[in-house]
Every structure is written in structure tokens, then in C-alpha cells.
Structure 1
Amino acid sequence: MPSAPELQPHLSNPLDPTLNRPPAQVRHVHLMGIGGTGMAALAGMLQSAGMRVSGSDQRVYPPMSDYLAETGIEVMEGYRPENLAARPDLVIVGNVIRAVNPEARALAQLKIPYLSFPQALGHYFLKEKRSLVVAGTHGKTTTASLLATMLDHAGLEPGFMIGGIVQAFGRGARAANGPFFVSEGDEYDTAFFDKGPKFLHYRPELCIITSIEFDHADIYADLAAVKAAFARLVAIMPPHGALIACLDDPVVAEICRRAPCPVLGYGETRDLPWRLREIEIQPTGTTFTAEREGRDFGRFRSPMPGRHNALNALAVIALLDRLGVAPEAIAAGLASFTGVRRRQEVRGEVAGVTVIDDFAHHPTAVRETLNALRAAYPDRRLLVVFEPRTNSSRRRVFQEAYVPVFAAADRVLLRVSEGLEQIPEAERFSVQQLAADLAARGQQAQAFPTTDLILAELAATTRPGDLVAILSNGGFDDIHRRLLQRLAAPLGQ
């Protein structure tokens, strides 16, 4: 998500609920919070549909700032009432917007029709399409990207809305030419006027659920609340549809027991309909055997290293088989996958040092990402730079959970979280405490108050053969490009 005012206590909704609807005709649409990955992609799709599009946000950063600039969409800096002076026909309100936002207050006064992002996606792009939704705490972006890429490789021309830039398309969204639409089903809340999860608006016919864990501590009180949200998703599945669910996860298994449709379980457990076996991990990818109903379905190769990526691929294989895609076409589509930006993305190599960018921030995601990198690069020193930036990772809820997940790292450099003053002191996450806890386990770990100090330390201590993995869900002060520049400087580049 883009930088924006922190989530504040939910105040009463200032908007007229009778205006929460699409108008009959839309020539000009304005997006509040346009810099978010999904919102920027939606803006491009609406523009392609022939609408004039404008938007507002605070501090839009790459890659979405680059994307919006390329499209020529007008982006207004900051949230102000005058951003609505042109009186657009429709306003789409991103979930970073609070009821107290000055532009939201102006929207209420001007009585302009409005929709949330998921409502707009459902109304304008999911009608009369077969909706394929990828949900779960982890792996949504990669798995949805795999699905869209492999459907396209099979000639089925899917539409998609994904929370990342899919390398095969150079974008995160497009309208559908074929019968299918792939959506990344986020469990985060829809908007300040709709606190239900986004995925309830996506009309799933087939749905992958990768995992269910506690996350988003700013909107979910505990795991029970997260489970309740996913139970609502399962409950809206049509009887003719199907869930492709990772039943290795006991919480997923529990929630899917009440499904009104068939459940195609996948994982590494024996006797599941789809089972992962014989995994081989290399720097260039992962090879594995997919087993269906106790029989070998095929040997596959994913260009993404790691056990978790093999499981994501298995889920897509199961879904494509359900749609009738031949095993040979599935294998070819998987082999053609070129990845997603910010998911184990190699940003460059200078002086023998490889810099990798990854979005991981939840403890489980951090652990799986680092384990995958260690398995793929067993002989290289792994330096991990971590910025706890999300609303959950900046809270103490994961303070102890983070300690064991860096075990694969040779050294850990931690960025002190920004915006902690907006969180009650007793609830704040401490990178200093995490560094001390890691040191007590015998790991090299250090907390840094600024990105500049991290860059200086890396420039002084990295050596040829090092792998630097930078984990953050934000722009991280452009650290990747700046590090590569610093590493190149001694070589005169």
C-alpha cells in the first residue's frame, strides 16, 4: 500500500449510503489512494475502458508511481477538498482512506456517487466472467501471478487484478478478453464504510486458499477473527465451484470442512488429492513431482526457488487441471513463468554481491523466503536487511515470533520502524530487542536508526559471493538501487 495517514480509530461514516452505487454513466472517475498497487492498476483498467481518470495520494513510490506516470493519469499530491472540484461522476475510495480524511469529508458534502475498490472491480470487470480467486495469509501475489501467466500461456487470455507487477505482462492488472478473471483475494478490510474483507466482493467460482494465520493486527483482534473472515469466503462459494486448499494447514482444513462445494486438498501430507513430492531446489528454480489421487500427474519445474513456491505451483496445477488444461500445457506454462517484482527479485549483482528484493514481512513469510534462499544458495553468505513496516510488524504481537525465523541468515540488519509514535508505547515492536534476542542465539544482528547507516555498513562489509536479501513491503528509501550504486562506486562504475 502507498504511504498514507496511519489507520485511525474508525469514526462514524460521513457518506450517504444511498450514494454507494455506480452511476448509470461515468465519463470521469477519481480514485482516492491511487498509489496503492491495486488502485493504480484499477485506474489503468478504467482508463483503458475509455474513462477519464484522476487520483490523489500521499508519497506514491515505485513501481506504481512509474506506472501511473507512464499512463499519463493525473495524480494529485495530498488529500484536499479541491481535488474534487471537477466533480467526477464517480469516486473510488481506497482502504487507506479514513472517515476523517479531508477529501472524504468533501466527498460526503458534494454528494458524489462512490464505490470501494473491490466493489468497482466486481461491477466493472467481473460481471459475466468466471472468477478465479487466490486467497490466504501468504503467497497470494505469487500464486495469482502464476495462475494468470499459465492461463495466458494456454491461450485463455485471462483478465487479472494482482497486488504486484507480473513480469510476463509488465503490469498487475488487465481487463479480460477470455472467460476467466484472476483476483488476488485480500482479507484486509474493504473501506472505512465497509469493514468486511475485500475478497467477499469477488464472486469466486474457483478459489485457492494457501494458508490462514493471524495477521493485520490493526483490524483483526486475534486468529479467531481472521478465521471468521475466511469462513465467510468459504460460505459464498457456489455449489458448482471448488476450493483448492492447502490442507497441510490445520486452520485451512478446519475452515474448509464447512464448504458448500468440493474441496481439492493439496500439500505434502499423504492421501491428499494433490500431493507434492521429490522436491529439488536450485538457484534457478524448483523441480518437483505432482501426485494426483495417489498417481504421478507429472514432473514440473518452477523458475522460483523454495518449497513454498512449489506448493503455490501445485495449487495452480490443481486448479488448471480442474479447468481441463492438459498436463503438458500446464508444465510449459509453469516453466515460462518469469516471476513477480519484489518476490525474490534479483535487482542486480555488483562486485560479486547479489542484491535481492522481497516483499516478505509476516514471520512465516520471512522464514519461508530465507529458507528458500538458503536452499537455493547453500554456499553463499546470506545477509538479511529487514524493515518492519506493516501495521502488524510494527506492533509487539510478533515480537517473539520473529526471533526464530532468521535462522537461515548469516547476518541480520534491522531498520528501526518509522511511525512508532502513532502506536501506544506498550504495543510497539522493538528492533533493538529483536537484535538482542538474535544475538543471544548466536547470530550476528544489529539495529540501525536510518537507512543511510545500513547502506554504509553494507558498503563497508560485503564481499564477493555475498547474497543481500532486503525484505520490506515498502519502498525502503530506494535502498536496493542505492546499495548497487555504492557497491559499484569503487569499481568506477
Structure 2
Amino acid sequence: MKTIHVLGICGSGMGAFARLLVQQGFEVRGSDEGAFPPMSLRLAEWGIPVFEGYRAENLDWSPNQTPDLVIVGNVIRRTNPEAEEMRRRNLPHLSFPEALRWLFLTNRHSIVVTGTHGKTTTTSLCAWLLESAGQAPGFLIGGIPKNFARSSELGRGRYFVVEGDEYDTAYFDKGPKFLHYQPKSSILANIEFDHADIYRDITHVTESFRRFVDILPEDGHLVVCGHEQLAIDVAHRAACAVETYGIDGDFDWVATNLVPVGTGFRFSVSYHGTLKGELFSPLAGKHNVLNALASIAIVYRLGVSFPEIVAAISQFEGVVKRQDIRGEVGGILVIDDYAHHPTAVRETISAIRTRYPTRRLWALFEAESNTSRRKIFQDQYGEVLSGADVVVLSKPLKKNDKLADTDQIDVQAIVTNLRSKGVDAHHIAEFTDIVDFVADNAVHGDVILGMSGRDFGGIHGEILKRLSERS
């Protein structure tokens, strides 16, 4: 097998996977709708041609050649022109998770990080701790760790670290992606309701995590957050060794004596009641202390020494779009974050509050995910956003998913809720108007936190540009 065609290649995970294919020596091409930066630029850098739009003839690589394998992303529907042509020609095809397992995980120790929140940072930490210890791991991550400046790497070592997503696999496989990753070591950080477009309720979500825990081998290792009762209940099913982690409690791995220092936390770490030592994590927020503990528990069992862990965590630079400082102009700091689920929004606002306790905090929020655009968490958003001083909500992202108006989130109702709590809240529909509002009203000392699972219309950069013009 030499040639591979990727459907939906410009998604962050699919593009990163395409890079692995190139590293492995395959000739790779792909198709997508809306090939735009940064992924379009990265694919060009890696020498991967991309067809703009889906057409049957994209599968004709030359007059007498079709690809040896087609990899199908989960954005592809059965009626996609290339998917239909692929089936008509009976071309060999796999989902992205199946291909990852078959091509990259079969002969490696797979470390799979799961949970509703914290996967990207924790996966990045695991990869960085192993890399710093000289293990040269492979990895595939749903974000870009700044220490690596890339979201995938083939690696030369024994270990391969994967961000384990509970979203569905492909149009022909509606099971969760992480069931394909043959986990040997795993983290279960938390379980909450999300992905409302494919899951009915929390029971449905929990069943997917149960199925994941059931496939862990007896000689495997599961690390679970001790603060999350639902995750603990699911972990009891595991046939393998299970360890808990948490802050100031009766857990196998415990963080105590948390002290905010600079951008992050200094804290002590104990294992089975024995103090291992003190370390500094440059990441803000108690949730990132938990992320660090989870990664420590995984790599320590794999032989990474605690002194190596201490050194590596102190040098961890974080992940793009996770409390990501985009710039500061005239004493006004602009931060970009991926938070969109209410729990993530709450923890991110709390972390930024801790990091900048004396500064006025703006929270700009775009409801863009398949869950946040629905009314499911409307009341919760009114609670979690109240941790900011000024809140601005844009119009929800429009998608071609036929979401009924009666099911859509009511942004104005959230604003009314926030104002009843004394929060200076606004509904400003258009991104350009949000930029104008911030530029006209932000003052020296303010922190502008823009939260969206997408690029939020590029407002972070536009705000910085306007502030520069103002000054």
C-alpha cells in the first residue's frame, strides 16, 4: 500500500493524522470543503495536495490510478459525492480511528486520555513528560502543544499517546472513536453530558465510557479523578489496576499545599501517603493541577522518575488556544481559550481570576458547539459567566444541522439572567461590533478573555489591532 486519500482532511485531527501518514512514507492527498488556515498552510508545508470541495473525480489520482486506501473522517456523510464514488468503485476504506489503530498502534503501548474536559492539555502533558524523559513517544492530539509546535508525531519510542474522543467514528460506525485505540494505559478525567447531537442524555454518554473501560486489558492501567463520582463508578468495572488522583483528599496521588505562583501553582505531590516532592506547574487553575496529576500518575508507572517529572512540568508551555495569551496593548491583555462547555467556562474564568486577581475581567463567548448552541445548558451559562465583570455574548454559530428555533439557546435570556446578578452583560451579535465595543470601552488593566471552540471570527487579533490603533 502506497497511496492514501483522506476525506475531510482539513479538520484538526484529520490534518494531524495526515502528517503521520506522510511520516510513515505514504503518498497522501485529501479533500475538504473550506480549506483555510492554519490547517491548509500546514498541509501545504507537509506536501499534501488538497482538493477544494468533494467530487467523484477527486478519486482519480491519474488516468489509471485510484488510491490504495480511503480514510473517511466523521464529518463525511453517506451522501458525500466521494463517499458514494468510493463505495461504487468498491475502494478499500477505513474510518480515521480504525486507520490509526491499524497503521500506528498495533505494535505500540497505547496511552489514551479520555474525559469530557481536559483531554488536550493532559494528553500534551503525557507526551511532553515522556519526550523529556527521552522516550520519543508518538502522539496525536486535538490541539497544538507549544513545546512541540505540532499536534502529531510518529515517534521512535514504544509509547503512543492519543487524545481519546467519545464522539462517533464515521457514518458507517456510530460507536465512539476511543474504542478503536487499543488502550494499555488510560486516564478517565471526568464524565459529563456533551455532544448533544449524538448523545441522548448522561446515561447514554456514560455507556460509551463503560464500553471503553471494559476493553482495558488486565495488565493495563487506569487513572481516574477521585473528585468525579460518575467516573469512579465507571472505573470500578476495569479489570486492570486502577489509581485515583485528586487535591487534598484520600487518593492514590494527591496534590496538597497549593500556592498560586506567577502564572501557575506550586504544590506538593504524595503517592500512597508518601511525599514524593514539590513541583511548579506554570498552568493556571486547579483543573490544570488535576491534569498534571493525571499525567504524573501515568508516566511514573511507565518508569519516568519524579525528578524528571518535576523538571519537565516546570518547562511545559501549555497548548495553543488554552488560556493562550495573544498579546497586550496599552495594559489591556487579550487571551484566547477553547472553553465552550459550562464546566470548562467556569474553570477557565476561575483560573484567569486567580492569575489576575486585581484586574477587571471581560468574558466574550460564542456558542458554537453542537451542545452550546442548544438550550440544554442555558441556565448554567447564566451561572458560570457571572464570574466575569463584563460579559459579551455573540450570536450563536449557524450550522446546516436543521436545529429548530425552539431548541436554540436564547442568548438574550442569558444576558437578562446575568444582569439580574449585577453583571455588566451584553448581547452583541456581530463579531465586528464586539471588536468595536471592546476597543471603545476597555481600559488599562483589563483582561479580555475570548472563549470559543472555533476562531471566534478572528476577534482576538482584531481587538489587538484596534487597541494598537487607539493607542
Shift of 1:103: 2.1
**Alignment of 1:236 onto 2:215:** yes
How far apart, in 2, do the equivalents of 1:372 and 1:355 lie?
Answer: 15
**Alignment of 1:268 onto 2:247:** yes
Contact 2:386 2:421 in 1 (8 A): no
**Alignment of 1:193 onto 2:168:** no
Which of 296, 314, 326 is matched with 1:347 structurally? Answer: 326
Write the deviation string for residues 164-215 of structure 1: whole angstroms up to 9, x where unpaired.
1111111000112011000000000011110111111111111011110000
Q: What residue in structure 1 maps to residue 56 of structure 2?
A: 81
Q: What residue in structure 2 maps to residue 181 of structure 1?
A: 160
Q: What residue in structure 2 maps to residue 356 of structure 1?
A: 335
SS state at 1:402 partner: helix
Q: What residue in structure 2 maps to residue 48 of structure 1?
A: 23
**Alignment of 1:370 onto 2:349:** yes
**Alignment of 1:327 onto 2:327:** no
Q: What residue in structure 1 maps to residue 91 of structure 2?
A: 112
How far apart, in 2, do the equivalents of 1:369 and 1:419 lie?
Answer: 25
How far apart, in 2, do the equivalents of 1:62 and 1:330 lie?
Answer: 35
The one-letter code matched in structure 2 to 1:368 is E
Q: What residue in structure 2 maps to residue 443 of structure 1?
A: 423
Q: What residue in structure 2 maps to residue 482 of structure 1?
A: 462
Shift of 1:298: 1.4
The one-letter code matched in structure 2 to 1:365 is A
How far apart, in 2, do the equivalents of 1:452 and 1:290 lie?
Answer: 46
Q: What residue in structure 1 maps to residue 405 of structure 2?
A: 425
Q: What residue in structure 1 maps to residue 119 of structure 2?
A: 140
How far apart, in 2, do the equivalents of 1:201 and 1:254 lie?
Answer: 23
How far apart, in 2, do the equivalents of 1:478 and 1:372 lie?
Answer: 23
**Corresponding pairs, count:** 466
- Once the two structures are overlaid, the 10-residue window that deviates more, 386-395 or 275-284, is 275-284
Contact 1:58 1:79 in 2 (8 A): yes
Which of 164, 186, 189 is matched with 2:143 structurally? Answer: 164
SS state at 1:112 partner: coil
- Once the two structures are overlaid, the 10-residue window that deviates more, 77-86 or 195-204, is 77-86
Which of 200, 214, 220 is matched with 1:221 structurally? Answer: 200
Q: What residue in structure 2 maps to residue 434 of structure 1?
A: 414
**Alignment of 1:401 onto 2:380:** yes
How far apart, in 2, do the equivalents of 1:335 and 1:283 lie?
Answer: 12
SS state at 1:50 partner: coil
How far apart, in 2, do the equivalents of 1:68 and 1:463 lie?
Answer: 40
How far apart, in 2, do the equivalents of 1:482 and 1:52 lie?
Answer: 38
- Once the two structures are overlaid, the 10-residue window that deviates more, 169-178 or 294-303, is 294-303
Which of 253, 272, 287 is matched with 1:308 structurally? Answer: 287
Shift of 1:348: 1.0
How far apart, in 2, do the equivalents of 1:191 and 1:271 lie?
Answer: 41
Give structure 1 stretches of 5+ with no counterpart.
1-24
The one-letter code matched in structure 1 to 2:433 is L
How far apart, in 2, do the equivalents of 1:67 and 1:167 lie?
Answer: 15
**Alignment of 1:472 onto 2:415:** no
Q: What residue in structure 2 maps to residue 95 of structure 1?
A: 74
SS state at 2:174 partner: strand
How far apart, in 2, do the equivalents of 1:270 and 1:284 lie?
Answer: 25
How far apart, in 2, do the equivalents of 1:60 and 1:138 lie?
Answer: 28
**Alignment of 1:58 onto 2:38:** no
Contact 1:394 1:420 in 2 (8 A): no
Contact 1:62 1:475 in 2 (8 A): no
SS state at 1:92 partner: strand
- Once the two structures are overlaid, the 10-residue window that deviates more, 27-36 or 174-183, is 27-36
Contact 1:92 1:120 in 2 (8 A): yes
Shift of 1:111: 1.5
Q: What residue in structure 2 maps to residue 19 of structure 1?
A: none
Q: Would the alpha carbon gap of residues 112 and 420 (structure 1) be closer, same or farther in structure 2, given more than 3 Å must change?
A: closer
The one-letter code matched in structure 2 to 1:234 is V
How far apart, in 2, do the equivalents of 1:398 and 1:61 lie?
Answer: 31
The one-letter code matched in structure 2 to 1:410 is D
Shift of 1:61: 3.9
SS state at 2:346 partner: helix
The one-letter code matched in structure 2 to 1:323 is L
Contact 1:420 1:428 in 2 (8 A): no
The one-letter code matched in structure 1 to 2:422 is G
How far apart, in 2, do the equivalents of 1:441 and 1:58 lie?
Answer: 43
How far apart, in 2, do the equivalents of 1:440 and 1:96 lie?
Answer: 40
Which of 239, 250, 253 is matched with 2:232 structurally? Answer: 253
Contact 2:56 2:85 in 1 (8 A): yes
How far apart, in 1, do the equivalents of 2:49 and 2:166 lie?
Answer: 29
The one-letter code matched in structure 2 to 1:438 is L
Contact 1:212 1:227 in 2 (8 A): yes
Contact 1:283 1:377 in 2 (8 A): no
How far apart, in 1, do the equivalents of 2:196 and 2:113 lie?
Answer: 21
Contact 1:271 1:293 in 2 (8 A): no
Shift of 1:297: 1.6
SS state at 1:474 partner: coil
SS state at 2:191 partner: coil
Q: TM-score, normalised by structure 2?
A: 0.97
SS state at 1:407 partner: helix
TM-align CA RMSD: 1.3
The one-letter code matched in structure 2 to 1:171 is R
Q: What residue in structure 1 maps to residue 9 of structure 2?
A: 34
- Once the two structures are overlaid, the 10-residue window that deviates more, 217-226 or 71-80, is 71-80
Identity value in percent: 46
Q: What residue in structure 2 maps to residue 14 of structure 1?
A: none
How far apart, in 2, do the equivalents of 1:490 and 1:472 lie?
Answer: 25
How far apart, in 1, do the equivalents of 2:372 and 2:306 lie?
Answer: 40
How far apart, in 2, do the equivalents of 1:451 and 1:244 lie?
Answer: 41
How far apart, in 1, do the equivalents of 2:30 and 2:314 lie?
Answer: 38
How far apart, in 2, do the equivalents of 1:438 and 1:101 lie?
Answer: 43
Shift of 1:283: 4.4
**Alignment of 1:126 onto 2:105:** yes
SS state at 2:265 partner: strand
The one-letter code matched in structure 2 to 1:442 is G
Q: What residue in structure 2 maps to residue 72 of structure 1?
A: 47
SS state at 1:423 partner: coil
How far apart, in 2, do the equivalents of 1:115 and 1:144 lie?
Answer: 24
How far apart, in 2, do the equivalents of 1:179 and 1:374 lie?
Answer: 40
Q: What residue in structure 2 maps to residue 11 of structure 1?
A: none
SS state at 2:141 partner: strand
Shift of 1:331: 0.4
Q: What residue in structure 2 maps to residue 386 of structure 1?
A: 365
